[in-house]
Chain A
Amino acid sequence: MNINRTDALDMVRDAISRAVPGADVSALEPDDPFRDVLEMDSLDFLGFVEILSEMSGVRIEDEDAPRLATLADSAGFLVARST
């Protein structure tokens, strides 16, 4: 399934807000390193990866973590992997 960039961004935002309930996702800039901004620890991040993977159908490996640093990166990653 192809994911377009807008959908990808929405998925990433949604996954973050589900992994970190109460996080103000709307205040995140596309290039903010959201892990730091939201003080996500490795368990939070794993939860995010889990949710995002499930939503997008894209398998995300440990090695892919550095590519999920910002909203823009994460969306780009999903778009690239889904094609």
Chain B
Amino acid sequence: MAEFTMPSLGADMEEGTLLEWLVGPGDPVHKGDPVAVVETAKSTIEVECFETGVMGRLLVDPGATVPVGTPLALIGPTADGAVEPEKPGSPRRKPGKAAKAGGPTKTGKAARSEKPEKAVKPGKAAKAGKSGEGEKAGNAEKPGEAEKPGEAEKPGKARKAEKPGKPPRRPTRPPPGREEPTGPAPSSPEPVQAPTPAPTPAPVPAPAAAARPGHLEAGPLARRIAERSGVDLETLPGSGPGGRVTRTDVERAAAGRGAARPPRVRATPFARRLAAELGVDLVTLTGTGKGSAVRAADVRRAAPGPAAEPAPARPEAASARPSAERVPSGRPAAAGPSEERASAMRRAIAGLMTRANRDIPHYYLSTTVDVAAAMDRMHEHNRRSPVGERLLPAALLLKAAALAAREVPELNGFWTDDRFTAGDGVHLGIAVSLRGGGLVAPALRDADSLALPQLMAALKDLVARARAGRLRGSEMSGATLTVTDLGDQGVETVFGVIHPPQVALVGFGRVVDRPCAVDGLLGVRPTVTATLAADHRATDGAVGARYLTAVTRLLQNPEEL
């Protein structure tokens, strides 16, 4: 049985809060599937699974904050030869590639993972450490199991699946650069966030439940009462053993039908929060989670517009809002007030940048590039394209940065253990400033092989999700070279601080018209200043110069982009 651990989602992450499980025990999972939502100081991230198998016991409950490396759940192997069925309700499965960096399981971190008792709920932590817990995967110990009927057979499946010839556990090598910081053990200035249990919703049958194949496990008595009171057993979640519908369930449902108030929809805490942010009415949704609970994914599907973002947590806006509009009590405090969040982010950035400036001997290069040809190509493309497919200068600059990184691989990778390791592709970290302050640099994977329109679409999607706090684990780590484009902020030149353990950072300023000598004449041309901050341990200035020369050549010959 493999452990699914709290991943390191960036060099500056020490701990994370589990917000939501996207799968339950017994669910088949595939490498690359998002299985949990984790909140770090910087963002809310969907964490992908690094194994294909069957979800075993969940060791950490939503709301708990645990250090990186803490086992969160067990994943059992899929039964030999068995082709597991496509999991319905998991439409966002990504092809395996995305998972590459998704699961930094660190077997070597086991020792560290013994620690988190204080953070994990009492009673759980002790078990988490023990081995041989796998067999117990079927035990309905998980809190909330009782309210998740209809899953009764699943634990059994998990147990079965574990038995026959386990494939040897794949030793997952941590990607380079994901090593422990060598500094002193990080003190934890932040109080451990107390798990905020979501109020248990009364098991009133949500209308959504009708869409889900129900179960008909009910005793004769329950059946009779149901018949009499007109309760549809098909849609009724049972709280009895094995998800059986009990007499109490039926009576409660019958009582609920009479009540005028709208049914309280079963939903995960994260889904509730998301729904509040996105303005989605939970009642209108069909839940695909356990017991038809509405999951975050369901909310997202129903959310209007692709770029929906959380409302800013401006205090004045909040207080001006009439109380009737306030998010009901279901909203968890897991995210904390935005100011606390902002200061946590500030601390995370402070820690990382201090380390970068202390440990990395930066050298800086700069050159000004005539981008007339590139801008012509962009405008030409935009004239021919529907407005939704237009390019921005950023797309061309990023593509040039990515292609140049392929040409000069010495700048594309990580400096760890006193040596350079090349990246396994060109994954550009895109520095995205967040509206509430702070920044994240999620990875735009394989940026060098994306055509401009695809790169533009990927960029839009990545930035929108970064700002909405919906990045995936594989995007939070694995960037091989970061690009910062401060053109929108009006500056012409930016010399950045390298994001460790990367070895370089590329900066672009604003595209400005400047007088230039062109073919012996003076002309006014759109230009951009490209800069490079590079790690002198990994490369010398000549390599950096080669890189900027490649960027210049690419931008001046945009047909190569």
Contact = CB atoms under 8 A, between A and B. Distances in A.
A42 B393 contact: yes
Interface in A32-68: 39, 41-43, 46-47, 49-50, 53-54, 59-63
Interface stretch (A5-13, A15-23, A74-82): A15-23
B387 A59 contact: yes
B327 interface: no
Contacts of A61: 382-383
Contact of B305 (A18, A24, A53): A18
Contact of B387 (A19, A43, A53): A53
A30 to B, nearest CB: 22
A46 B392 contact: yes
A60 B387 contact: yes
Contacts of A62: 378-379, 382-383, 390
A19 B303 CA distance: 15
Contacts of B163: none
Contact of B312 (A19, A22, A49, A63): A22
A19 B489 CA distance: 18
Given A43-B392, A61-B382, A54 B305 contact: no
Nearest to A22: B312
Contacts of B309: 21-22
A50 B312 contact: no
Given A43-B392, A46-B392, A62-B379, A54 B387 contact: yes
Interface string B4-46: 0000000000000000000000000000000000000000000
B392 A22 contact: no
A60 B387 CA distance: 8
Interface residues of B, number: 28
Given A18-B305, A22-B309, A50-B388, A43 B460 contact: yes
Contacts, number: 51
A48 to B, nearest CB: 11
B488 A19 contact: no
A21 B306 CA distance: 12
B433 to A, nearest CB: 8
A21 B278 CA distance: 10
A14 B290 CA distance: 38
Given A24-B317, A53-B387, A43 B308 contact: no
A21 B310 contact: yes
A39 B488 CA distance: 9
Contacts of B317: 22, 24
A56 B416 CA distance: 54
A47 B311 CA distance: 17
Interface string B440-467: 0000000000000000000110011000
A59 B435 CA distance: 29
Which of B394, B460, B488 has the most chain A CB within a 10 Å cutoff? B488
Nearest to B393: A42
Which of B307, B314, B379, B487 has the most chain A CB within a 10 Å cutoff? B307
Contacts of A24: 317
Given A42-B393, A43-B392, A43-B460, A21 B308 contact: yes
Q: What 3 A-B pairs have minimum CB-CB distances, sorted nearest first?
A: A22-B312, A41-B488, A21-B309
15 contacts: A18-B305, A21-B311, A22-B311, A24-B317, A39-B435, A42-B488, A43-B392, A43-B463, A46-B390, A46-B460, A47-B307, A50-B387, A59-B387, A62-B382, A62-B390
